[in-house]
Chain A
Amino acid sequence: MTTERVTAPQTKPPLWRNETFLKWSAQIGVFVGIVALFWVLGTQAATNLDAQGREFSFRFLSDPAPQISEGIFTLPENGLESFATGIVNMLRVTFSGIIAASFLGVIVGVSRLSSNWLLSKSATVFVEIIRNIPLLVLIIFFALLCSLFFPELSNEASGPVWLIFTRNGVSLPWLFPTDTFWQWGAFLALGVVAAVLMFRRRDRLREQTGQNTHAPRYAMGAFLVVAAVGWFAHPIAGALGWIWQLLESIVSTVPVLAWQLLFAAVAVFLAVRWIRGFLDSLRSPAGLAKLTDDDYFRIGLAGVIGVGAALVFLFIPAITETIADVTAFVFGFFDQKFEFLRTGSPMRFARPEIIKPANFASIGPQGMTMTPAFFGLWVGVTLFTAANIGEIVRGGVLAVPKGQTEAGLAMGLRRSQLLRLIVLPQALRIILPPIGNQYLNLAKNTSLGIAVAFPEVVATMTTLANQSGQYLPVLLMWMGFYLTVSLLLSSLVNYYNRKLKLVER
């Protein structure tokens, strides 16, 4: 064996040994492969559609759409109204379900921890039963229970009632918005702003004086005062209608080409700004840091996305046209809702009423009636989510250190005070992120309403897809809708999460 050291000449490694080159070629290769796969599928789809004399289009949104069993447009004029009906129905179930499931879930979770044997065992049994049955079975079961086994409306009964369970659904009194509701809504928004300002002011006062300044109560009071004033003063807010009209006319008179240029410019501007911000973040007093492959990739990607978006806006005017149309539609919608000095009470209270148009009694159009489909879906998702939230609450309370409980007891707090003032506020920090996930799941689970013929987004759009054969556009709309909902809900949860987070050194 030779012992002399051989110093290798410092050369660049050959291409097939260059790690950067290998990694990038692998990535680009896979990427190109996937793009090629989609390309092949897309061409095949185009050929198939051509052979059937059809084409990929969203025209079903403007074509006539079939009747819908419940919602804002039961006789939609076109597919877009059908879609809107589905969205509103889905949001109805989601919001009412989130509220009900949160209440029930906290009750269940705390009950499971109760020292009362009967209560904790009942809560355990509830959770174990609900969590281990498929949600779909629950939904179908409750819808069926309502439509087949609730009492039939007796023929003798008539007149207004408070709450009535019949095979047509569950009817209850409700507050309905009227023509002037949106004018009052402007005042409500103003009230929220006033409440936030008031809260900040009182909070600052508390920090200065050290006294309890009851900031939440003052904020609530400010909101209520503005809302109460708005209840009577809302005809003035109708003046906003002129502004909406102006905006609408601006949007619809400016030519599409101008909007296209504007959007393209904005896309390029955003990309450039991002790249400059990124480079600035790498800059130190000693100069610009050496850029890694990753950094070059990010810069390149930002540039490609920016320029690509600009090109898309420039060369496909249909996108810009749609955006302009939708914006004009929204402004027009608001314009209708506001009219200077339009009077009338913004909300109307109504009780369900049993009427007898002919020989048989039925529930009249007043009041709110949950149909069996709505009832089944709502009860199903509520119970299912409540069971999961109960488990999360239980876990969160258990995760609060035992010393906190002991310290609270040592201070002479009662059990209810202990829970309310010591344990739950600390548990909230732990349970909020998983509960946010549960809300997201609830929103997605409303799609099971199709099994009981509840017309939410999936059900209404499936009808349109079957009618037009346009499955891909419908899938894209579903994806867009659900991803938007997910994004909105999760950013809301993240916001609260950040606010609640313990600030550590």
Chain B
Amino acid sequence: MVETRVSQHLVPPEPPPEASQPGALVWLRKNLFYSRGSTILTVLVGAVILLFLRGAVGFLLDQGRQWEVIPRNSANYSIGSYPRENIARTWVSLGVVAFIAGLATAAWRPIGRVSPGQISAAVRSAGIAALVLAVLAPSTFGGRTEFLIAGAVLFVIGQAALMALGDRAIDAFLPTLVVLGAGLVAFLVVLWILPISSSTQIPWTIVIAAAVVAFGVGRALIQPLGAPTVKRSVVALALFALPVLYLHVQRAPEIPWDRVVDWSAWIIPIVVIGYAAVIFVSGAEREAAAIVNGLLVVASIVVWFVSAPMAARFLLLMLTAVSLATPTFGSGEKGRRTVIAVWTGVVLVLMYLFAIGVGTPTLETNNNYFAGINLTFMLAIVPMLLAFPLGILMALGRTSTMPLFRLMSTGYIEVIRGVPLITVLFFFRFGVLNFLPPGLQPDAILLAIIGITLFAAAYLAENIRGGLQSIPKGQYEAAKAMGMTTAQMTMLITLPQALRAVIPAIVGQIITLFKDTSLVSIIGLAEFLRVANNIVPGQPDSLGTKLENLVFAAVVYWVFTFTFSRASLRLERRLGVGVR
């Protein structure tokens, strides 16, 4: 879209379009050989590309390459050293993720269409690519005939489809959902045709079935419940599923009941105080509520400096957050019920997470539970979620009128943005142990997550600040004129708009973070790149295959990142942020 506009405005105006159907020769003349300079350029660039392709293809298909290493290590790549006899747990996790993805697809129906002309052209291009590959392949390459045949077949299919579509090639459209379904079917067909062990085929089939079933369930639920409720439930389910899958399903912890009993001396009073506090605050005068909230803030800080269980500290922190939000969201009879429900949910979820979080895993393994692409996704998703509240706080602090808050936020943001991520990771891997009590030896993954969170929060804060500053002054003034407090104005008026405005920037941030997770391989965590760069080539039967593995890792990263960035472009268009 953009490219066509550009090339039009930089070249001399083209002659009016010819009446006849433009043929291949006309296209070549127009786009490659329209002047003497362009002809020379085309020949030069073409020669360079051919040389490069020839070198790359010759290198990748050389006899010495051992590509069979990659399928042999597919389990290592996905889950690393996770105990193989418990592999069903990771399949269950994948199934749950697929289920949620299916629900999400039903809730946010993917709009947009794909033109069959585009698909046919893509098939034809794939055929051309296969043919070029076959021609350029080194003489030792065995699969030349197969490539030639496959390329010719694809080319003929694509060309025939284009010709059959004729004029409708551009106008006709297929809904994205149909294309998605066709893709899943094609995946299943390929899965069952190729010689893959059934221990891979059957789980994958079940995973895809889960996605399809979830899609059906979601569609059926939208009618009675309404789309907004379904969407909200899907988000809540996804947020809850994340810790459950990582902490409970994949670690299979033994719940330490004795410790839970120990905590209850702290927890039960906090829960009771919590109910009393939120009920009081939701019906109280402004000042009385402020006094209670102030006491809670003080208590939630003090509890960190006395010997209390971590669970109690966090629970008190959450109570303070809920209570602080109550005057804004939970006033009135209905609000009171909501606040009580929220507090109950917070207590249950937090206690459950703490119980499974501190439990010792029961699975036998020589190494860590999380590795491979599993860990890569964990390191991209969890820090981003944790960084969100921190980033919002920093952004509010930096745009605040209160100088000390502004100073602290600005200092934090600028210092973190000034140093490379690897130094932060190093410090959290090795240096931070100096600052903790001798008995406390946190998990390396947990430390990496904290480091990445603190790093990402600074960048996120800058994005959100951009959103906050883009909000027209009238919105602030209108909120003040309505008699809103600063907290209400921020939570109900400005922050929602700011967050909506910066969604594309935040998606870009997530993509960057996904690529940056590769850095933790330097500090020794077995994420995807470390598997490719150290673990697989270190096996006795895979020595000297570093390059094959690196190329594979690059391709996998590329596929994920490219898909994300395309999806974010669609999202941007759908939100229409720039357009409105």
Known: A117-B31, A134-B515, A458-B420. A41 touches B435 (CB 8 A): yes
Across-interface contacts of B436 in A (CB, < 8 A): 44, 48
* Contact of B553 with A137 in the complex, beta carbons under 8 Å: yes
B305 interface neighbour in A36, A124, A483, Cβ under 8 Å: A36
* Contact of A119 with B305 in the complex, beta carbons under 8 Å: no
Task: Encode A84-114 as 1/0 by CB contact (under 8 A) with B.
Answer: 0000000000000000000000000000111
Known: A23-B402, A116-B41, A415-B11. A483 touches B415 (CB 8 A): yes
Q: Identify which of residues 23-66 in chain A touch chain B, using a CB-to-CB cut-off of 8 Å.
A: 23, 26-31, 33-34, 36-37, 40-42, 44-45, 48-49, 51
Across-interface contacts of B3 in A (CB, < 8 A): 112, 120, 124
In angstroms, how far is the closest chain B Cβ from the Cβ of A236?
43
Question: Is A494 in contact with chain B by the CB < 8 A criterion?
Answer: no
Closest B residue, CB atoms, query A450: B522
Question: Is A326 in contact with chain B by the CB < 8 A criterion?
Answer: no
* Contact of B522 with A115 in the complex, beta carbons under 8 Å: no
Question: Is A359 in contact with chain B by the CB < 8 A criterion?
Answer: no
Q: Identify which of residues 410-438 in chain A touch chain B, using a CB-to-CB cut-off of 8 Å.
A: 415, 418-419, 423
* Contact of A448 with B9 in the complex, beta carbons under 8 Å: no
* Contact of A116 with B558 in the complex, beta carbons under 8 Å: no
* Contact of A44 with B405 in the complex, beta carbons under 8 Å: no
The complex places the Cα of A346 from the Cα of B193 at a distance, in Å, of 71
* Contact of A482 with B420 in the complex, beta carbons under 8 Å: yes
Across-interface contacts of A118 in B (CB, < 8 A): 32, 41-42, 45-46, 49
Question: Is A500 in contact with chain B by the CB < 8 A criterion?
Answer: no
* Contact of A479 with B554 in the complex, beta carbons under 8 Å: no
* Contact of A479 with B431 in the complex, beta carbons under 8 Å: no
Question: Is A451 in contact with chain B by the CB < 8 A criterion?
Answer: yes
Number of interface residues of B (CB under 8 A): 66
The complex places the Cα of A56 from the Cα of B108 at a distance, in Å, of 56
Question: Is B187 in contact with chain A by the CB < 8 A criterion?
Answer: no
Number of interface residues of A (CB under 8 A): 82
Question: Is B437 in contact with chain A by the CB < 8 A criterion?
Answer: yes
Closest B residue, CB atoms, query A405: B9
A-binding segment of B165-173, B262-270, B421-429: B421-429
Question: Is B352 in contact with chain A by the CB < 8 A criterion?
Answer: no
* Contact of A475 with B32 in the complex, beta carbons under 8 Å: no
The complex places the Cα of A42 from the Cα of B401 at a distance, in Å, of 31
Q: Identify which of residues 400-432 in chain B touch chain A, using a CB-to-CB cut-off of 8 Å.
A: 401-405, 407-408, 415, 418-420, 422-423, 426-427, 430-431
* Contact of B558 with A129 in the complex, beta carbons under 8 Å: yes
* Contact of B408 with A34 in the complex, beta carbons under 8 Å: yes
Question: Is A217 in contact with chain B by the CB < 8 A criterion?
Answer: no
* Contact of A472 with B404 in the complex, beta carbons under 8 Å: no
- Which of A23, A115, A124, A402 gathers most chain B CB within 10 Å? A115
Known: A116-B45, A118-B45, A128-B562. A31 touches B408 (CB 8 A): yes
* Contact of B10 with A137 in the complex, beta carbons under 8 Å: no
B7 interface neighbour in A113, A474, A486, Cβ under 8 Å: A113
Across-interface contacts of B529 in A (CB, < 8 A): 134, 136-137
* Contact of A31 with B404 in the complex, beta carbons under 8 Å: yes
Closest B residue, CB atoms, query A445: B420
* Contact of B550 with A144 in the complex, beta carbons under 8 Å: yes
Q: Identify which of residues 1-57 in chain B touch chain A, using a CB-to-CB cut-off of 8 Å.
A: 2-3, 6-7, 9-12, 31-32, 34, 38, 41-42, 45-46, 49
Question: Is B185 in contact with chain A by the CB < 8 A criterion?
Answer: no
* Contact of A482 with B402 in the complex, beta carbons under 8 Å: no
The complex places the Cα of A40 from the Cα of B427 at a distance, in Å, of 18
Task: Encode A130-144 as 1/0 by CB contact (under 8 A) with B.
Answer: 001111111011001
* Contact of B431 with A471 in the complex, beta carbons under 8 Å: yes
Across-interface contacts of A482 in B (CB, < 8 A): 418-420, 423
* Contact of A415 with B519 in the complex, beta carbons under 8 Å: no
Across-interface contacts of B426 in A (CB, < 8 A): 458, 462, 465, 471, 475
Across-interface contacts of B418 in A (CB, < 8 A): 479, 482-483, 486-487
Question: Is A148 in contact with chain B by the CB < 8 A criterion?
Answer: yes
Question: In terms of DSSP, what is the predominant structure of the interface of chain B?
Answer: helix
Question: Is B438 in contact with chain A by the CB < 8 A criterion?
Answer: yes
Question: Is B159 in contact with chain A by the CB < 8 A criterion?
Answer: no
Known: A16-B287, A465-B430. A44 touches B408 (CB 8 A): no
Known: A44-B435, A415-B10, A483-B419. A475 touches B558 (CB 8 A): no
Task: Encode A448-480 as 1/0 by CB contact (under 8 A) with B.
Answer: 101100000010001001100101101100110
Question: Is A327 in contact with chain B by the CB < 8 A criterion?
Answer: no
Question: Is A149 in contact with chain B by the CB < 8 A criterion?
Answer: yes
Q: Identify which of residues 176-234 in chain A touch chain B, using a CB-to-CB cut-off of 8 Å.
A: none
The complex places the Cα of A472 from the Cα of B430 at a distance, in Å, of 10
Closest B residue, CB atoms, query A483: B418
Closest B residue, CB atoms, query A25: B294
Question: Is A447 in contact with chain B by the CB < 8 A criterion?
Answer: yes
In angstroms, how far is the closest chain B Cβ from the Cβ of A388?
11
B423 interface neighbour in A117, A140, A447, Cβ under 8 Å: A447
* Contact of B434 with A28 in the complex, beta carbons under 8 Å: no
Known: A45-B434, A45-B435. A113 touches B41 (CB 8 A): no
The complex places the Cα of A321 from the Cα of B49 at a distance, in Å, of 60
Task: Encode A474-505 as 1/0 by CB contact (under 8 A) with B.
Answer: 11001100110011000000000000000000
* Contact of B7 with A120 in the complex, beta carbons under 8 Å: yes
In angstroms, how far is the closest chain B Cβ from the Cβ of A315?
24
Across-interface contacts of B551 in A (CB, < 8 A): 141
Closest A residue, CB atoms, query B62: A149
Across-interface contacts of B304 in A (CB, < 8 A): 37
Question: Is B518 in contact with chain A by the CB < 8 A criterion?
Answer: yes
Known: A44-B436, A116-B42, A445-B420. A465 touches B34 (CB 8 A): no
Question: Is B521 in contact with chain A by the CB < 8 A criterion?
Answer: yes
Known: A16-B287, A31-B408, A137-B554. A115 touches B546 (CB 8 A): no
The complex places the Cα of A328 from the Cα of B65 at a distance, in Å, of 58
Across-interface contacts of A444 in B (CB, < 8 A): 419-420
Question: Is B542 in contact with chain A by the CB < 8 A criterion?
Answer: no
Task: Encode A395-416 as 1/0 by CB contact (under 8 A) with B.
Answer: 0011000100100010000010
Question: Is B516 in contact with chain A by the CB < 8 A criterion?
Answer: yes
Question: Is B290 in contact with chain A by the CB < 8 A criterion?
Answer: yes
* Contact of B438 with A48 in the complex, beta carbons under 8 Å: yes
B415 interface neighbour in A27, A471, A479, Cβ under 8 Å: A479
Known: A132-B565, A483-B418. A148 touches B32 (CB 8 A): no
Across-interface contacts of A158 in B (CB, < 8 A): none
Task: Encode B79-98 as 1/0 by CB contact (under 8 A) with A.
Answer: 00000000000000000000
Question: Is A5 in contact with chain B by the CB < 8 A criterion?
Answer: no
Q: Identify which of residues 320-368 in chain B touch chain A, using a CB-to-CB cut-off of 8 Å.
A: none
In angstroms, how far is the closest chain A Cβ from the Cβ of B97?
22
* Contact of B41 with A119 in the complex, beta carbons under 8 Å: yes
User: Sorted from nearest, which 7 A-B pairs have the closest CB atoms?
Assistant: A471-B431, A27-B404, A117-B31, A132-B561, A447-B420, A134-B515, A115-B11
Q: List 26 A-B contacts (CB under 8 A).
A: A23-B402, A27-B402, A40-B305, A44-B436, A48-B435, A116-B42, A118-B45, A137-B529, A137-B554, A137-B557, A144-B547, A294-B401, A294-B403, A394-B6, A405-B9, A405-B10, A409-B12, A447-B420, A448-B420, A448-B519, A458-B423, A465-B426, A478-B419, A478-B423, A482-B419, A486-B418
List 10 additional contacts besides A116-B41, A132-B557; criterion CB under 8 Å.
Answer: A115-B11, A115-B31, A132-B565, A134-B515, A301-B407, A419-B10, A423-B10, A444-B420, A465-B430, A475-B426
Q: Which of A's residues lie within 8 Å of B, judged by CB?
A: 16-17, 23, 26-31, 33-34, 36-37, 40-42, 44-45, 48-49, 51, 112-120, 122, 124, 128-129, 132-138, 140-141, 144-145, 148-149, 294, 297-298, 301, 394, 397-398, 402, 405, 409, 415, 418-419, 423, 444-445, 447-448, 450-451, 458, 462, 465-466, 469, 471-472, 474-475, 478-479, 482-483, 486-487
